Amino acid sequence: MKKKLSPLSLIYSLLIFVFLYAPIAVLIIYSFNASKSRGTWGGFSLKWYAELFSNKDIMQALITTLSIAVISAVVSVVIGTAAAVGIYYSRRRTKALLTGISNIPMINADIVTGISLLLLFIFLKLDLGYVTLLLSHITFNIPYVILSVMPKLRQLDKNAFEAAIDLGATPLRAFFSVIIPEISPGIVTGAILAFTMSIDDFVISFFTTGGGVSTLSIEIYTMAKRGIKPEINALSAIMFLVVMTLLLIVNIRSSKVEKKKER
């Protein structure tokens, strides 16, 4: 039988959720505020959403951010999944060593990674801009994909791949027909995580971008010196709802897959 939460545990859990989501709720509410001042409520209005799509600087930063996030997520998923499979089928000592190495970028401070990538690009004589920004995002996203895919590989039936080979499948076809479908939840999780981390990043992007190329985080940082515009509230509200929708879709899909496996 399932244990019921005590009233104290329930109150404690509710307080945690209030603490986490109250600032976001305030941001969404004030995105509909007709007044430009955050201290007064001027009535319900959608004008900041309208002005958001007419602000060229914010829209250009949004396009750059989304394109970097999508491309870096796709590339890092391909590289990270291949790396995870390679690590999984390595010898025990090699696996432990490679797993530890792949975890270092996630533990490492962003400012160290940003400066290191900046020095690397300068050494390679690459002009700072869109390409260097994309390369840096791919670099820090790969370890998160490996981390997401590895648990699914550990759950994989080790005999499934050999069985496919024995039935006449080529190693490549067995990989795409047997292994990829089994680890697909981890791949999807890694892709969403990479996409989110790319949108969220500021420090590494700040060091590896050049003039004329700005992400949302950099644009907001620049704007903060003059004062945050209300359009940012509208943009943040839209982004939050999109991310929540994606998470709900993934969770529903994962629950359906688990139910099918149980049946």
Sorted by where each begins, the domain ranges of the chain are: 53-228
Q: What is the pLDDT of residue 159?
A: 77
Contact (Cβ atoms closer than 8 angstroms) between residue 210 and residue 132: yes
Domain at 53-228: CATH architecture: Orthogonal Bundle (1.10)
Helix (H), strand (E) at residue 236: helix 231-262
21-53 per-position pLDDT tens digit = 888 888 888 888 887 776 677 788 888 888 888
Q: Which residue has the higher pLDDT, 10 or 224?
A: 10
Amino acid at 193: L
8 A C-beta contact, residue 223 and residue 232: yes
Distance CA 84, CA 189 (A): 14
Strand-pair partners of 44: 33
Q: Are 84 and 150 in contact (CB under 8 A)?
A: yes
Q: Which amino acid is at 119?
A: L
Indicate whether 5 pLDDT > 80: no
Average per-residue pLDDT for the chain: 85
> pLDDT of 63-116, one tens digit each?
999 999 999 999 999 999 999 988 988 888 888 888 888 888 888 888 999 999
Nearest Cα neighbor of 187 from 146, 248, 137 is 146
